[in-house]
Amino acid sequence: MARAYTVTLKSKQLKVTDSELSKFADLHGIEGELKSRVSELFLLDLFVYAMELGIGPSDIVEEIFTLETMDNSSSTKPATAFSRPPLHGLWHKHFFCHHFLVQNMRNALNGDKLKALIDQIMDHSKPVVTPEMISEIAHRVTIEPIENRAKDKRLTGEWIIFAKHHGKNYYLCLNTHNAGDQLIADRIRTNCVREFRYLKDILISALSNATNYTMFTYGLCQLLADNCKDSKRNVWDSLSSKGLSIEG
């Protein structure tokens, strides 16, 4: 049975069918066996990012190819496993495009780095700003940070969310950093489990870990509150007596 999706955006609605998404995938190199490991939700996100945000599918698909071939040529941060619930057991990989240039410049020049850079270039003994100074500042604020972060494989963008199963990657969705882990987990649970049944076990395990994490955090807060008048050593001794271990 054909499926149709309606995506409501700020200014309009996008409508697309599963067969149109399949053709869209083929057009951008997601085909063959790889295609069987890419969810419809991922393809829908890829379609929306292209149609609404102007993010070229090739920028995202290239990162998939680097993951598939374990190629080390990517300039973005390495793939990383989520360490906490509700996404524990899943992975994410950054993808980069021109939309994220400013954020990467900002990351490279955070704190006092921009001021220090300008102070280094400007000659404060002379109240003159030369064209050479302006040119050097422009280069070191715009070009140099991107080149350095690319060389160090530290370019950041938004996320490709994927799972590992029997030695293969399964690509589930795209999301922004600020979407929130619970929203991402809910999207995967609602849309991807029907395609990849093993995801149910991963999400259940993550939910169990979330419960344990919450209980641990609550217990730790209570314990610290009970011992707030004690010395640090007494608090650590109390933790140890309850079977809890904290390093550092």
**Per-residue confidence (pLDDT) for residue 157, from 0 to 100:** 57
- Closest by alpha carbon to 77, among 66, 85, 87, 61? 66
Per-residue pLDDT of the chain in tens (248 residues, 90 and over written 9): 789 999 888 778 889 999 999 999 999 999 999 999 999 999 999 999 898 878 889 989 999 999 999 887 777 788 999 998 899 999 999 887 666 666 767 877 888 888 888 888 887 777 788 888 888 888 888 878 768 876 776 666 589 999 999 999 999 999 987 788 999 999 999 999 999 999 999 988 887 765 555 554 555 455 455 555 444 445 445 444 544 444 43
**Per-residue confidence (pLDDT) for residue 219, from 0 to 100:** 52
**How many C-alpha atoms does 184 have within 13 Å on its Cβ side?**
26
Element of type H or E holding 163: strand 158-165
The pTM score is 0.71
Domain chopping of the chain, boundaries: 4-97+157-207, 99-151
- Closest by alpha carbon to 185, among 93, 48, 90, 63? 90
Write out pLDDT tens, residues 159-201: 999 999 999 999 999 998 778 899 999 999 999 999 999 999 9
Contact yes or no for 59/187 (Cβ under 8 A)? no
CATH number of 4-97+157-207, picked from 3.30.2310.20, 2.40.360.20, 3.90.1510.10, 3.40.50.280: 3.30.2310.20
How many angstroms separate the CA atoms of 222 and 231, rounded? 16
